[in-house]
Structure 1
Amino acid sequence: MAHSSAAEFDPTKDNIKWDEGNPLRTPDPNRVGVISFTPKDYVPKSSGHSLGVWRKDTKAYKLFDTGDNKKPFNDVKKAIETAEENALPIAGARAAEGLVYTYEISPYKVRYGFAIVATYYEKPWVWFDGQGNWEAKFEEIVAPATHNALLGMQRDLKRAVTAKLSDPQGFINPTTQSKTSIQFVDLNIGSDKVVQEMLKIVEKYLKW
């Protein structure tokens, strides 16, 4: 099988492997515990500076190629710690260093980086984000939500404001009778502007 060139890595066509652990150890894509992803495991909605997001069973893996630069990994760890300090629901997210193997050259290309590992939620959970013209889609999710789901969203969006969660995205369960109705993923800390607007939308429907 011919392999793509380095500039042409395509997660919708090429395989990838994740090897959690010491990134300085001898590369071995066949080591016990290495997770193999095929294009069917790729999550098309993934974006940003990562190699992409892949799903395996109930977990999502966002893989990053960082080389010797430790700052992105440390930034993600700090963001997770900030979210935890503010009791944000973060889908069990954790960051782990390791090696990534992509099939760009024969037999594989080794990348030094890390993964964010989190729970992937199925229906009735639905995806939300605050990118682009997000308001109409967010209202479409929130408008039919149960009272308890709205209360949970209100509580956790207030926590997101306190944490200054920027670029909010994740999953919402609008049908639940539980107040555990929102999960944030791909955490970034800096500006609370969008979560403030999301909170206003939720509170508008709580008043009805």
Structure 2
Amino acid sequence: MDATTKPFGAVATSTAPYPRPTREEAEAAVRTLLAWAGDDPTREGLLETPARVTKAYGEFFAGYGQNAGEILSKTFKEVGGYDDIVLVKDIPFSSHCEHHMVPFVGKAHIAYLPHDGVVGLSKLARLVEVFARRLQTQENLTAQIIDAINEHLGPRGAAVMLEAEHMCMSMRGVRAHGASTVTHRFTGVFAEDRNEQDRFFSMTRR
């Protein structure tokens, strides 16, 4: 794939089907949206907005240029025989709804049962960022996180739960302020044993 397919500020990936527009084309598109919204893109306060928006998009969607396998590549085997749940909860994240391109914000809870070593705790937070900084649905984000854990860590089981507020519900449409969406997925031992699921839920609520 040609490097022109990559999103702003990111490395080319197979998820980008179109050639990458130039920065000038992207800024022109922002000016068009400003005018469509009813404002004057040539007025002083908006003159630099297109450049700022394209730069911000490079941050919002940096996950397209990041690789989950690289983040989870290093594990530690000297853990004193520990083989119980490893849980990192309340990981803050922000993403963008792929349907309206507005944010949804929340927290992630990730747990796994080690099989052959553990990964650095900060790497689980970075894993969430890899997938959150893309256009997403919460359901897909949940699946991508746990699939990456299973693929690269090979645990005996994994559990992921996301809780988030979607601006596409609170800022527009039904304007349901404060509504929270919860998604979760279990694999391995967590999927097979209801007691392990209950233990996961209990630990996330402490």
Decide: shared fold, TM above 0.5: no
TM superposition score normalised by structure 2: 0.28
Higher helix share: 2
Q: Give the number of the structure with larger relative contact order, counting CA–CA contacts within 8 Å between residues 6 or more apart.
A: 1
TM-score (norm 1): 0.28
